[in-house]
Amino acid sequence: MKEIFDIVSYRSSEITTKLYSTSFSLGIKALDRELHKPIYAIYGFVRLADEIVDTFHNFDKETLLSKFKHDTHESIKDKISLNPILNSFQDVVNSYNIDLDLVDTF
């Protein structure tokens, strides 16, 4: 059943990418099809972090960002997250062996 959740997760990342950035979404089409899902997953992750910083002005951004970072690390370690965007992102990080320092640097 996790396969269905993974499909939902990647589609959530794709929808997020397409809704937030039309031009970026069009640019992805120029790349090999097998790269689309990982790129959508990374963009979705980055978009959520940007939303915390750029948009959620009436909320405690520091706490939200800290929780997001914690949840990101947990999802990578556990290889799952109930947050679909983090779930697709952790899959890419684990599949491509992306160094956590790169994730933290962002």
**Residue 1 pLDDT exceeds 90:** no
DSSP at 60: -
**Residue 26 pLDDT exceeds 90:** no
- Note the pTM of the prediction, 2 decimals: 0.94
**Residue 15 pLDDT exceeds 90:** yes
- Per-residue pLDDT of 65-80, as tens digits, reads 999 999 999 999 999 9
Domain count, the chain: 1
Cα–Cα distance for residue pair 43/23, rounded to 1 Å: 13
Q: What is the pLDDT of residue 43?
A: 96
Range of the domain at 85: 2-105
Amino acid at 54: D
Mean pLDDT of the chain: 95
Residue 14, C-beta contacts closer than 8 angstroms, at least 6 positions apart: 36, 37, 40, 44
Kindly report the CATH number assigned to the domain that includes residue 36.
1.10.600.10
